Structure 1
Amino acid sequence: MNHPITKSFSLIVVWAILLTLPLWIGGIGGYTDLASRVLIIGLAAMATNLLVGHSGVMAFGHAAYFGLGAYGTGLVIKYLIPSTPVGFIIGILVGTLGGAIIGYLLAKLRGIYFALATIAFGQVFYFIAFRWNSVTGGDNGLTFQRLPIDLGITQIDLSSSLTFYYTALAVFAVCAALMAILLRSPFGHTLLAMRENERRARFLGIPVNRHLWIAYTASCVFVSTAGGLYGLLNNFVSPHNLHWTQSGDFVLMAVIGGMRSFWGPLLGAAIFVIAQDYLSSITDSWMFFIGLIFVLVVLFIPRGIVGLLQGKTS
């Protein structure tokens, strides 16, 4: 399955599905905003997997930067500058700055200490959003309105669900391309070396802590981008978007789809989001079924759905 022709065919299939998704999702009981949610949450899962799957460290705090991207976007649009592009860019910068600072503090930690510290720092941002009622809206969340993008001679009307989907797809395409370039670069190969054997990587002279910090920050750039898009999709942000359970969902999606695969987290996100949307409409116990899917994947196909498709079951 690693043959160049097979890879090219897989790439064509992925983009064909993404480009046509709004056109046929209604035929299987979905809707355009659900397609947008799959795309955006998929980007967040891929960003998380950039650190977890490709660098080999467990991080359960990425919802903090997802939420910072969303809150940064919403607060700028609502209170400062009524411009979707300006709010979106500032949201990404806020999430990235938060990730760079926290990543620098975490770079020397490993194992369970790293995982617990990511949760702890993430919960700090959650409680700030939860308690700062006058700015964030507290538990009631922050409501705002995405605005058209003015290009001078024309406008992109983001109030249309279809227009928003393809705008989000364009952003997703840029992020996916940048992630692919990063992983194929010498820096990306050093991350894989660190994942496989950190002691050997240190012996080879790789500055492991610095590389981990850079990888953490890069991951936060993409997850903040997803957060900004998610806020714009819903015209709403709540503290739940920063909660550690949301971070756990991103990791769960990566595991279901395949942590060692570039597109695996996107597939895992599609399964999670669509299952959540359908099951939550028929039962309050929908998380039981999501958990069951996760357990079955871990027990029988630890390489994830993509690993199964590639014939790798262990």
Structure 2
Amino acid sequence: MSTALDTKPATRPAPSIGGREISAAIIWLALLFVPIWLPAVGGFTDLASRVLVYAMAATGLNLLLGYTGGLSFGHAAYFGLGAYGTGLFIIHVIPSMPLALIAGTLLGGIGGILVGPMVMKRKGIYFSMITIAFGQMFYFLAVRWNTVTGGEDGLTGFSRVPLHLGGETINLGPARFYYVVLALFAVVMLVVWQILRSPMGHAFVATRENTTRLRFLGVAVDKQVWVAFAISAFITALAGSLNAMLTAFASPDDLQWQLSGSFVVICVLGGMRSFWGPFLGAVIYIVAQDYLSSVTQNWMTYIGLIFVLSVLFFPQGLLGFIKGRARS
């Protein structure tokens, strides 16, 4: 006769490692050893840093575009504000790279916070147009304020500042700076991953899918868009700050709507509703841009052709196409 003492606790099967985890591990391992293998295939480390910078900016935009459903053509404004904020801090305040990155990120993020209430109630094409308008406003401010920004010539006179840790000075050559960018990229990806898994992230997706039902449930949809816009601006501003350190230059072009369009193209190429989509899109875009610009002056034509073909044959982006093939 069996009793309660005879029963054994049910054992749970050990969690299996899926293809998603394996793919992520391969990506991080490849990124970790970039300074070793990239020169062997004819690349250079600063190119990898640029890929990560643009991937970070596109990831910030993707939080708004892919997950919340707001198409912004003005996100270069926060990228540029981050770049100018970093450069101006080093020139006029203190030559400290960590503090300069914080200053640039705060400047761009606060810009997004201030613009957010003026765009959060707009939908569709009106949302896109007003973001362009604010982006161009920041652009013309940078062009006209010669005494501060350098005008059309851009902001120069600053460079990559060495790090001072424990009494030691660490010069940031291409490889070391790449690891700084990689570390911050990892932090951004972790933060975005946690946001998307949180109730706030689910509210972002619900805003994209059915705004009317969300309003009926009593959710402040406009505030959700504002929060997504602000977080997106902070991430994009951090990318712009790193780009200023990478190039030792801040240009009005960093605020132009054409760069905003490039971020949108990157998201669409990789898959704008995929977590790793912006990263894959940045790899394709930056590598293609670097190669094509070295062989032809009309490289933008070929970038446009790549984008058109991607939209026609991979409407969910390249990563969405790969996932679809894997399920079939």
* TM-score category of the 2 structures, normalised to the smaller one: over 0.9
Alpha-carbon RMSD: 1.3
In 2, Cα distance between the equivalents of 1:137 and 1:23?
38
1:207 partner amino acid? A
In 2, Cα distance between the equivalents of 1:275 and 1:119?
26
Pair 1:85-2:98 in alignment: yes
In 2, Cα distance between the equivalents of 1:254 and 1:156?
35
Q: Cα distance, 1:277 vs. partner?
A: 0.5
Pair 1:150-2:195 in alignment: no
Question: Does the aligned pair in 2 maintain the 1:303–1:312 contact within 8 Å?
Answer: no
Task: State the partner residue of 2:126.
Answer: 113
Pair 1:182-2:185 in alignment: no
1:101 partner amino acid? L
Matches within 5 A, 1:1-314: 5-143=18-156, 144-158=158-172, 160-311=173-324
Deviation per residue, 1:140-185 (Å, 9 max, x gap): 1111112111123323322x10000001111111111001101110
Question: Does the aligned pair in 2 maintain the 1:22–1:32 contact within 8 Å?
Answer: yes
In 1, Cα distance between the equivalents of 2:190 and 2:307?
28
Deviation per residue, 1:56-91 (Å, 9 max, x gap): 111111000000001000001012211111111111
In 1, Cα distance between the equivalents of 2:300 and 2:162?
36
SS at match of 1:145: coil
2:170 partner amino acid? I
Deviation per residue, 1:220-273 (Å, 9 max, x gap): 110010000000000101000000110000010000000110010111011100
SS at match of 2:295: coil
In 2, Cα distance between the equivalents of 1:105 and 1:168?
32
In 2, Cα distance between the equivalents of 1:268 and 1:138?
31
In 2, Cα distance between the equivalents of 1:255 and 1:156?
38
Give 1 or 2 for the bigger CA radius of gyration.
Answer: 2
Task: State the partner residue of 2:10.
Answer: none
1:81 partner amino acid? I
Q: Cα distance, 1:312 vs. partner?
A: 5.7
In 2, Cα distance between the equivalents of 1:23 and 1:300?
35
SS at match of 2:242: helix
Task: State the partner residue of 2:4.
Answer: none
1:198 partner amino acid? T
Count residues in correspondence. 310
In 1, Cα distance between the equivalents of 2:325 and 2:79?
31
Structure 2 residues without counterparts, runs of 5 or longer: 1-15
In 1, Cα distance between the equivalents of 2:313 and 2:80?
33
2:79 partner amino acid? F
In 2, Cα distance between the equivalents of 1:252 and 1:23?
29
Question: Does the aligned pair in 2 maintain the 1:103–1:217 contact within 8 Å?
Answer: yes
Q: Cα distance, 1:22 vs. partner?
A: 2.1
Structure 1 residues without counterparts, runs of 5 or longer: none
1:118 partner amino acid? T
Change (3 A) 1:130 1:312: farther
In 2, Cα distance between the equivalents of 1:213 and 1:131?
29
Q: Share of identical aligned residues, percent?
A: 52
Q: Cα distance, 1:4 vs. partner?
A: 5.8
Deviation per residue, 1:15-70 (Å, 9 max, x gap): 11211122111222210100100011110011111100010111111000000001
State TM-score, norm by structure 1.
0.96
